[in-house]
Amino acid sequence: MPKQGEIDYLDNLDAESVAHAAAKPWSDPGCGQYLVEIGTILSLLPPPPARLLDLGCGTGWTSRMFAQRGYDVVGQDIAPSMIELARAAPPSTGRVDFVVSDYETLPYEGTFDIAVFYDALHHAVDEAEALAGAARALRPGGLLVTVEPGVGHARAEHSRRAVDDFGVTEKDMPPRHIAAVGARLGLELVAVHIDPALLQRAGYGDAGPSRLRWTSRVLRRRPARAALLAASALYRPRTGRGIVVLRKS
């Protein structure tokens, strides 16, 4: 069953892969992308103090970053082994607690000011139940933020391999779908933002200082900046990876 695959996922990895998961984001080639996205999420949130629920937190690196910013954080994951790693990590500044639970059957009612799904909602068996649980957990006026892959994710080779090898759930989870489910739950759509990592790659790529100097020269030209902004505007309501911000009335 897919949920059992999520529960057992870390237990089925080899030692090197477990070490990689425990050391994220620093161990991952996508570290720059992760940090850009987390920084953008932080820029969209109300400032601390506030209570934040980090849903599907895995080994807890996002939860620790939110706590370092000053939020009172609960990191939730369905896999006991993930939470065990999260609790074993060196302590961060700020307050963070980790709990094992299913985000489709959350026990919280009006407890949090902010809820975040960061690369986690697309693993849900029933994303409507997961979003409904997050909405219940929020106080009136609370924000729900998601950062999820768009159309094509479930067909990607790495996703199909994860499903075949580990029995996990991999879904497309584009902004328009999240917004539509949120609307059915009575959540107000605040904004849909382009994935900031996409703009980072468009502007800087993966190369070193010579590429950065070239990029800087190009982006100083007004037409190049205008083209980048136009691409962003065309993307925002569509189907790619993006940030969705919803509010509980």
Whether residue 112 is contained in a domain is answered as: yes
Percent of the chain with pLDDT over 70: 84
Model confidence band, residue 164 (pLDDT cutoffs 50, 70, 90): very high
Question: Tens digit of pLDDT for each residue in 193-226?
Answer: 988 887 776 666 654 444 444 444 544 555 655 5
The CATH number covering residue 20 comes to: 3.40.50.150
Asked whether the predicted pLDDT for residue 233 surpasses 90, the reply is: no
Query: For residue 121, what is the DSSP state?
Result: G
> 39 burial class (0-12, 13-18, 19+ CB within 10 angstroms)?
exposed
Q: How many domains does the chain have?
A: 1
* Closest alpha carbon to 230 in 194, 191, 177, 179: 194
- Strands (DSSP E) contained in the chain are 51-55, 72-77, 95-100, 112-118, 138-148, 187-194, 242-248
Whether residue 34 is contained in a domain is answered as: yes
Query: Looking at residues 145-174, what average pLDDT do you find?
Result: 96
Mean per-residue pLDDT of the chain: 89
Whether residue 163 is contained in a domain is answered as: yes
Query: Looking at residues 154-176, what average pLDDT do you find?
Result: 96
- Return the structure tokens found at 192: 């849909």
Report pLDDT for 221: 53
Whether residue 46 is contained in a domain is answered as: yes
Whether residue 62 is contained in a domain is answered as: yes
Whether residue 7 is contained in a domain is answered as: yes
Query: Looking at residues 105-110, what average pLDDT do you find?
Result: 97
Report pLDDT for 176: 94
Report pLDDT for 141: 98
Contact indicator for 53, 137 with CB cutoff of 8 Å: yes
Query: Looking at residues 102-119, what average pLDDT do you find?
Result: 98
Helix (H), strand (E) at residue 69: helix 61-69
Contact indicator for 177, 149 with CB cutoff of 8 Å: no
CA 207, 238, 149: angle at the middle one, nearest 5? 55
Model confidence band, residue 246 (pLDDT cutoffs 50, 70, 90): very high
Asked whether the predicted pLDDT for residue 79 surpasses 90, the reply is: yes
What Rg, from alpha-carbon coordinates, does the chain have?
Answer: 18
Report pLDDT for 194: 87
* Closest alpha carbon to 7 in 97, 113, 100: 100
Report pLDDT for 198: 77
Whether residue 67 is contained in a domain is answered as: yes
| Structural domain for 147, as ranges | 2-195+238-248
Whether residue 232 is contained in a domain is answered as: no
Asked whether the predicted pLDDT for residue 231 surpasses 90, the reply is: no
